[in-house]
Every structure is written in C-alpha cells, then in structure tokens.
Amino acid sequence: MARFTKKKKNEIGRAPDELFFRGDKKLDQMQLRIIDFDAQNFEEVNLSKTKDAIKYLEKNSVTWFNVDGLHNQETMANIAKVFALDNLILADVMDTQARPKVHEYDNCLALSIKMLRQTNTAGTIVVENLSLILTKSVLISFQESDNDIFNPIRERIKNEKRRIRKSGTDYLMYAMLDIVIDHYIYIISNLGDKIEALEVDLLDQPNQNLLEAINTLKKELNFLRKNIKPAKEMILTLSKIDSDFITDEALVHYKELVGNINQAIESTDSYREILSDQLNIYHTTISSKLNDVMKLLTVFSVVFIPLTFIAGIYGTNFDYIPELKYRYSYFIMIGIMVVMAIAMLYYFKKKKWL
C-alpha cells in the first residue's frame, strides 16, 4: 500500500461536513477515556458512552477527553453533539490522510498533526493522524489506535507535577505537541546512527547489500520529510496565532516548538545530503575498483603478448630452425621470457601503473 498518497474511489464527491471515515481501521471498537484534574484532584476513567462526559463540562477543572479509533460515525456524531462541535470539525478528524493544519472556530481551536513512532521489532516507522480540539476547559484528542506516545504526560499528571497540574488545556496541548516533535527527532537520530554506520563499510566493503541499505534509508528519510514538513507549517502558524484559547504564558512554549521542529527538518535535510554523498562515494568506489581490475588485466595482457609471440615463433613447424638443434635453446627461450616479464613489470612499477 502506498505510503505517500492514498485516495479511495468511494471518498470522491462526498460533502466536506459528512462524517465519513477516510483511512484504515486499526481498532475494532472505539475507546473513550477521560483524565480530569486540577492542582489538588485527579481522576482517570474509561467511558462506555459519550454522554457520560457531560458532567465534566460543568466542572472547574482541566478535562482531557481521549478517543482511540475514528471509524464509528454514530460515536463521532455524539461527540459533536455533546461538545457542541461543528460536523465539519469531526469530518476533518475522520480524514486520516488530511494535511496537518490549524483552524480557529467560534468555540474551539482545532488542529491535526502526524504522529510518528517506531515498532519495537523491526523498527518500522508507523504514522498515525493526531487531531486535537482545544476549548477553555476541555482538550479532546483523537487517535487512530491505542498505541499512543503520551504515557509520560499521564505520569506527569498523576505525579502532581506542578506546572502541568496548575496550567490549563492550552499547556496540556503544548505538552502533547512537544512529545510528538520529540519523537520526530528521536526517530531521525536513530536513522542517523544507521546512516553514519554505513560510512565505515562504504570505503572498505562496498557491495550490493550496502547499496540496498542506502536506498532503504533514503526512502525512510523521504517518508519522514513528507510528514514533518507540513507539521512545521502548522507549528509556525500556531506560534503566531492570536487566539482566546491560548494564553500568552502558554504561547511562549508554543514558540519553543518552532526551534524543535526546525531541528528535525534540518536533520532530515543533512542526512539526506549525506545519503546522496554516500551513494556517489559508492559508485565512485565501485568504478575505481573496476578500473583497478581492468588495469591489472591489461598489464597481464601486455606482459604475455611478447611471451606468446616468442612461444609462437618456437612453435612454428619448420624443419630447418637453427635453434632447434641447440641443446640449451629451450632454457634460453624461457630465460628471455622471464627477463622480459620482469623488465616490463619493473617499467610499469616505475611509471606507477601498478
């Protein structure tokens, strides 16, 4: 399946605000989870029905409503109803191939970004769409599966870390985006270690496996760039936004994300150039080794041409050849051939052809 662009025929022509799932189903059932907290209190609960979240809307606390799985249209419609969200917002959430973006509505701020992680087994890069809807007291996060990367945030909330427990939903959203971007840098650094490790074998043992490794890493790096570059545009927009849902204190932290995302982009560009250089070095090294082989074969050919000539003369089938009757003729011929071969090799060495 294509990793860059996917579009199904049944998605064409649908209304922009239609709650239709566009993507690959990764969970059998949607999972709803709430974390509600303030400086003194903490509560975490799994919900069976969307309407159970209504009571948290009336509390004077920070509520993180997390949704795993995006395929159930009825549940998504209920979420839109409970939180008074426009269907257009939820339609964007259900489009997992949507480009990262941020948009402010009357009652919320909605954004999406690609969340990347590596599998523990093969180290394959997995991409999922993360959508966040920010209000004054509620942050709603939508994920394609339950394999998220936000456990460190949950631990910080549980352990009563002062800043996150005393801050609002805008700081919570910053913390989530910070982890997403940190994973970008972490995955890039892992690829960077593999890229730099290739340099050791590149000059010593260039082979077909090395070429395949370079091409594979180049493909993975292009896949990373495809997902990170649009995220940079979204982060830049978010850092300059003038919104009632993000306080000036939290906006300072969003501006810090710009430096982190720039680091990720610059790293991908640097490693992309290194891979291109490695590919050039590989082809240059292979060509150089091929030239050495051809030079060696040429030298041996040049050496054996006069020897073959001498052997050919003494192999002529004539009765009257004076040297044939001389008892040392054979040894003289061999001696001449050895002297000529040594003299030619010495000459090639002196000319630095060997």
What does the angle CA 186 – CA 191 – CA 195 come to, to the nearest 5 degrees? 145
pTM comes to 0.79
191 within some domain = yes
pLDDT at position 7: 59
- Are 112 and 131 a contacting pair, CB within 8 Å? yes
Min mean pLDDT across 5-9, 24-28, 127-131, 251-255 is at 5-9
Q: How far from the centroid of its chain's Cα atoms is residue 92's Cα? A: 24
For helices 169-204 and 248-313, the axis angle rounded to 10 degrees is 10
State the CATH number of the domain containing residue 111: 3.30.460.20
pLDDT band at 103 (very low <50, low <70, confident <90, very high): very high
Looking at the structure, tell me whether residues 110 and 200 fall in a common domain: yes
Q: Could you tell me the end-to-end alpha-carbon distance of the chain, in angstroms, rounded to an integer?
A: 52
pLDDT at position 317: 55
3 within some domain = no
- Mean pLDDT over all residues of the chain? 85
Looking at the structure, tell me whether residues 204 and 335 fall in a common domain: no
222 within some domain = yes
pLDDT at position 1: 43
pLDDT in tens, 193-218: 988 888 777 777 778 888 888 888 88
- Residue whose tokens read 């090294």: 285
Phi, psi of 108 (to 5 degrees): -165, 170
9 within some domain = no
pLDDT band at 130 (very low <50, low <70, confident <90, very high): very high
115, HSE (Cβ side, Cα atoms, 13 Å): 23
Min mean pLDDT across 8-12, 83-87, 198-202 is at 8-12
Looking at the structure, tell me whether residues 304 and 165 fall in a common domain: no
Tell me which residue of 262, 252, 179, 270 sits closest to 228, measured CA to CA: 262
Looking at the structure, tell me whether residues 337 and 220 fall in a common domain: no
pLDDT band at 37 (very low <50, low <70, confident <90, very high): very high
312 within some domain = yes
Q: Which of 283, 300, 326 is the last residue of a domain?
A: 283
| Contacting residues for 268 by C-beta, under 8 A, at least 6 apart | 188, 221, 224, 225, 228
State the CATH number of the domain containing residue 328: 1.20.58.340
Q: How many CB atoms lie within 10 A of CB 270?
A: 13
Min mean pLDDT across 29-38, 87-96, 312-321, 330-339 is at 312-321
Domain range for 39 is: 14-283
Length of the chain: 354
Looking at the structure, tell me whether residues 49 and 122 fall in a common domain: yes
Looking at the structure, tell me whether residues 212 and 299 fall in a common domain: no
117 within some domain = yes
Looking at the structure, tell me whether residues 256 and 116 fall in a common domain: yes
- Using the predicted structure, report yes or no on whether residue 31 has a pLDDT greater than 90: yes
Any alpha helices (H) in the chain, and if so which ranges? 54-57, 73-82, 87-93, 151-158, 162-166, 169-204, 208-240, 248-313, 329-350
Looking at the structure, tell me whether residues 187 and 273 fall in a common domain: yes
From CA 117, how far away is CA 187, in angstroms rounded?
7
Any idea what DSSP says for residue 94? T
110 exposure class (CB count in 10 Å sphere: 0-12, 13-18, 19+): buried
- Using the predicted structure, report yes or no on whether residue 320 has a pLDDT greater than 60: no
53 exposure class (CB count in 10 Å sphere: 0-12, 13-18, 19+): buried
Looking at the structure, tell me whether residues 213 and 256 fall in a common domain: yes
Looking at the structure, tell me whether residues 28 and 166 fall in a common domain: yes
Looking at the structure, tell me whether residues 312 and 267 fall in a common domain: no
Q: Which of 265, 283, 301 is the last residue of a domain?
A: 283
- Are 17 and 93 a contacting pair, CB within 8 Å? no
pLDDT at position 321: 60
190 within some domain = yes
Number of domains making up the chain: 2
Q: Which of 283, 313, 342 is the last residue of a domain?
A: 283
pLDDT in tens, 150-171: 999 999 998 877 788 889 999 9
- Residue whose tokens read 């945030």: 153
**Residue 182, amino acid:** D
2 within some domain = no
Looking at the structure, tell me whether residues 211 and 339 fall in a common domain: no
Q: How many CB atoms lie within 10 A of CB 7?
A: 9
